[in-house]
Amino acid sequence: MKRREFVANTALTAAGLATSSMIISCGPSKSESKLEKIGFQIYTVRNQVKDHLEATLEKLAGFGYDYAEIYGLTGEAVLGHPIQHVKKAFDDAGIEIRSAHCGTGFDGEVPGTMSYEWQKGVDAASELGVKHLVLAYLVENERKNLDDYKKVADLLNSCGEMSKKSSIQMGYHNHAFEFETMEGQIPMHFLMDQTDPDLVKLELDIYWSTKAKQNTIDLFRRYKGRINLWHVKDMKIEDESMTEVGAGRIDWKEVFANAELSGMTSFFVEQDGNWTNSDVESLGQSYTYLNDLRF
């Protein structure tokens, strides 16, 4: 057990407080909370993991990261490596794999994608211990109109029903384009309305929704309890480019203070690009801020 987990659990027991698995109450005020565990999306270090998976994970574990979300899951590989290779690397680093990003598979017959031999993807996720499978992105020809979004919604429902049999929750990850009006509707809301709330949750990328001029807490209220995963990255004050968590304009104290409203159980620090430090050090900077955050 890591030192901060021991301290956190001791404080929790002493206080006799019931909390979720991601926050604890600490300090003299019971209203003050801090993060107990912090996760990352490994896409941030995609340039390193191809050839240096083990060394990269060791460094991230050294920062203090507890769990991760992976990408590129198919029925046979993940991160460009065999499933068992990746599982051992994460196990050796002491990092839990909680979630995996996947694709629709509309653009080709790749086993384990959502529209082609999906059960293989579910089985691979189960082998890795994954509890969440998330549709990561819709390319332009998959979202030309609301009929396309209805097709995606139907796919999410059917895949969610299959993954649920293996105790894996299906989800959808947003960018900014889902909030652009289409045919008189907001595709994000249309997609959520067309999917079963029990089968399909939302992984809210707070940077991208902020860029789309959406109020984070309003989204928490609209989808109360349904936003079970977050992507956490900041937006620069001087423009709208990405930056490390705590270095930008997003009010993370307010966001995390409303975690229960959201239904969030896990969050993943990510940088898609435009970071000021190297990608590994960027994750280290974000970790330091979040580990010190009180809300």
Alpha carbon distance 143, 111 (integer Å): 22
- Find where tokens 């609301």 sit: 146
Q: Tokens at residue 220, please?
A: 């928490």
pLDDT band at 26 (very low <50, low <70, confident <90, very high): low
Alpha carbon distance 21, 259 (integer Å): 12
Percent of the chain whose predicted confidence (pLDDT) is above 90: 83
pTM of the model: 0.91
Least confidently predicted of 15-24, 59-68, 189-198, 200-209: 15-24
Task: Please list, in sequence order, all residues whose beta carbon lies within 8 angstroms of the beta carbon of residue 55, skipping any fewer than 6 positions away.
Answer: 48
Alpha carbon distance 65, 42 (integer Å): 11
Scored b (16 or more CB within 10 A) or e, 78-106 reads bbebebeebbebbeebebbbbbbbbbbbb
pLDDT band at 29 (very low <50, low <70, confident <90, very high): low
Per-residue pLDDT tens for 241-282?
Answer: 999 999 999 999 999 999 999 999 999 999 987 555 679 999
Least confidently predicted of 15-19, 45-49, 184-188: 15-19
Residues of the chain with CATH 3.20.20.150: 38-292
3-state secondary structure of 41: strand
Compute the average pLDDT of residues 88-112.
95
Q: In this structure, which topology does domain 38-292 adopt according to CATH?
A: TIM Barrel (3.20.20)
pLDDT band at 18 (very low <50, low <70, confident <90, very high): very low
Percent of the chain whose predicted confidence (pLDDT) is above 70: 88
Residue 5's pLDDT is 46
Per-residue pLDDT tens for 141-153?
Answer: 999 999 999 999 9
Beta bridge partners of 33: 25
Average model confidence (pLDDT) for the chain? Answer: 90
Residue 76's pLDDT is 86
Integer CA distances (angstroms), 28 to 15, 25, 84, 259, in order: 10, 9, 45, 21
Residue 276's pLDDT is 57
